[in-house]
Amino acid sequence: MAKPVIQVDNVKFLRKMKKYQEITGKEIGQLVNNAARLCAIECLKATAPKDKQAGEKQVASDLRNLFTIVNPTWWKEITKGTAFASGGAAIHNRSGIVWATDTQTQVSDLSAAKDWHKSHKNAAGRTNRLGLLNRALVKQATYRKYLKETLKKVGIAKAGWAIVAEACNADVREPLKGIPAWVKRNMPKASGRVSALTQKEGFGFSISITNSVGYARATLDAGGESFAVNLAKKKMISMMNHAIKFEKAKQAELQQ
């Protein structure tokens, strides 16, 4: 799956940047760096999940698609084989439904749980719901540990954009301001890159930003990306207008 790559340049608002440079003295190249960071921040906001709770809910749902959780009492019966007394099947006491068979994969440790999960992920990093008798039988304690471990990874796709925002060389005090802790904690597990700022003909500058997380595109489609980039452009122009107005007013006061 192709990774999200955004080309940031100042062609569409070069005149505004020239005016900004003339009034404030800030170089156009630096403005492009700032715009790239703003694009990364807006893409981060638009990237799924919308919040930590939604992400954790999705993770829990994905895992339930793959595992049948077995309590300690039944796990002993399963490992001994006595749970499958009815022709290789374990039958629910009340409903009479076959809920497990002796041919299903049995998962008792974290490594096996991770391997089973990984083998059933699709290109988007999600899972498809397996039939009841196609799921792995997992020890309850193992499932709880694996769920806890996996929930900590919520926000990795967003963290790719956080890495980009930090690497844009924007002249702001806190390049990660406003990014929640549950996203920032996953930055060591994520990846993203920023190309070198290149100067084109005249006053033109260009830079590209990439979220290199493998399934990043699945969490931010082209439409969402376009919306985020346009929003960043509007915010950038609004910021320049405000700064120009402020600087002009300041200069007018000094001349009085």
Each residue's pLDDT, cut to its tens digit, for the chain (256 residues) gives 567 888 777 666 777 888 888 888 888 888 889 999 999 999 999 999 999 999 999 999 999 999 999 999 999 999 998 999 888 998 887 888 899 999 999 999 999 999 999 999 988 888 999 999 999 999 999 999 999 999 999 999 999 999 999 999 999 999 999 999 999 999 999 999 999 888 776 567 888 999 999 999 999 999 999 999 999 989 988 988 888 888 888 877 777 6
Q: Euclidean distance between the first and final Cα of the chain, in Å?
A: 61
pLDDT score of 4 = 82
Report the SS3 class of residue 201: coil
Cα distances (angstroms) measured from residue 220 to each of 42, 43, 79, 211, 255: 11, 8, 43, 10, 50
| Residue 143 near residue 112, CB atoms below 8 Å | no
* Global confidence as pTM: 0.86
CA atoms 24, 164, 38, 172: torsion sign: negative
pLDDT score of 86 = 86
CA atoms 81, 85, 88, 90: torsion sign: negative
Distance CA 204, CA 247 (A): 24
pLDDT score of 150 = 97
pLDDT score of 1 = 59
pLDDT score of 203 = 60
| E-only strand ranges, 73-229 | 89-91, 98-101, 106-107, 136-139, 192-194, 198-199, 205-211
Q: What angle do CA 104, 113, 96 make, to 5 degrees?
A: 35
pLDDT score of 187 = 98
Burial of 34 (0-12, 13-18, 19+ CB in 10 A): buried
